Amino acid sequence: MTESIAASGSDADRETRRGAHDGPPSAPTRLIALDVLRGIAILGTLATNVWILTNAEGLVGYLSQVSATGSGWAWVERVLQQLVQGKFLGLLTVMFGIGLAIQQGSATRGGRRWPGKYPVRAGLLLLDGTLNFLFVAEYDVLMGYAVTGLVVAYLLARSERAQRRWLVVTASIHVAILTLIAVALAMQPKTDRPRGGPLRPNPYAEGSFWDLVVFRAQHVAIFRLETVFIFAMSIALFLVGARLYRAGVFRPEGALLRRRLMMIGFGIAAPIDLIAGIAGGGDMILFTRYGTAPFVSLGILALGASWYLRRPHPGFVGRRLTEVGRTALSCYILQNLVASTLCYGWGFGLASRVSPDTPDTYVAFTVGVFLTTSALIMLAAHLWLRRFARGPVEWLWHTSYRAVTRER
């Protein structure tokens, strides 16, 4: 299926199964690591976004309360959020770059031009993302990935030197943007920072399903702001993923590379990220989510690759994560639908009954929604793959791609 989320495409899976790089012995291990990491990234995005879903005012309420302070359970909430904030967005983005590298390698070995028909894939992904944004989640990542993937697909056709330059330039632009924001915030007194009032009317708690669709369409500029803001970072992380894959991060000879990534991710970035995020709270969210968290995600990538190089059999948990990874796009959409049904007014409306002003209840409720949704997603992926080779959305995407390109 589509490479829309972390190379979950059938092309990528076939290439890995065939041992497209460095022989049969490592091929099964790489396949397990790729699928498991995709599954981790998908459930990790849920762990991040579930705090938005359980807020009675959705993303609007979450952003207005992100700098709130408190004690006791409020600190538990802050720690739990910081543990996942930005890490799995970064992992998902890097994995997408890996998917592009796999596709390019497949095209090269098959004697096909690159990027070839990739613009069709990107167009279908953009359509997927647009529908997901309007009907499911205003924090959709697929639209941004479609545009970024199209740009990077053409960059991968250029020389290694040119790719390295683009990586440095886009990373520098991203750092410059974060620096300018830091300076602006430092010069602005905290008392002058506006705080949003209650959302009236509140389509999340009181509106119908269609009311939320209209609300997203009316506020598309605000809800898509993050996609524009992280565009340079996304290009850089796509290129990092492609370079890491070609450098052998999933192969035995990449042991030194993996150790370095884990040292940077867990030894340096993770402590800074946790301390800054927990102590600084919402004032530091931009710098941890988009600054330190991507480095932590590289450590997660390296740890997953190392784990399954040493343990070629995934075990029960690994098999469940693998199934989520194989149906990544379907699970990404489904998990937001399930959680929305539980939380929003057009469904069971549970979020409006639990106030963030009672942190103990709110934290327990949010963790419960995450665990319930994750269990349902893993069960759905398991049952579906017992009968079908692709997830439902993956099948629809693949069928549409073949129809558009007239491939058999």
**Quick one: which of 312, 370, 388 has its CA closest to 31?**
312
Q: Residue 267: which residues within 8 A CB-CB, separation 6 or more?
A: none
pLDDT, tens digit, 9 for 90 and up, residues 12-21 = 444 444 433 4
**pTM given for the model:** 0.89
The Cα 24–Cα 82 span in angstroms is 40
Phi, psi of 248 (to 5 degrees): 90, 30
Q: How confident is the model at residue 188 (pLDDT cuts 50, 70, 90)?
A: confident
- Rounded distance, CA 385 to CA 154, Å? 34
- Contact between 245 and 7 under an 8 Å Cβ cutoff? The reply is no
∠ Cα 252 257 261 (to 5°): 125
**At residue 163, does pLDDT exceed 80?**
yes
Token couple for 102: 């796999």
Rounded distance, CA 124 to CA 293, Å? Answer: 29
Helices within 85-159 (DSSP H only) = 87-109, 118-135, 142-155
The whole-angstrom separation of Cα 239 and Cα 262 is: 19
Taking the C-alpha atoms of residue 318 and residue 322, their distance in angstroms, rounded to an integer, is 6
End-to-end CA distance of the chain: 15
Rounded to whole angstroms, how far apart are CA atoms 110 and 106? 6
DSSP 206: T
What pLDDT, on the 0 to 100 scale, is given for residue 31? 66
What is the band of 190 on the pLDDT scale with cuts at 50, 70, 90? low
Residue 360 is which amino acid?
D
pLDDT in the model for residue 8 = 39
* CA-based nearest residue to 297, from 234, 351, 229: 234
Most confident of 62-71, 76-85, 302-311, 370-379: 370-379
26-67, pLDDT tens digit by residue? Answer: 334 446 899 999 999 999 999 999 999 999 999 988 887 765
Q: Give the residue ranges of DSSP H helices in 344-391.
A: 359-385
Euclidean distance between CA atoms 330 and 124, whole angstroms: 15
Q: How far apart are CA 124 and CA 1, in angstroms?
A: 11
Render pLDDT for 192-236 as a digit per residue (tens, 0 to 9). Answer: 555 556 788 999 999 999 999 999 999 999 999 999 999 999 999
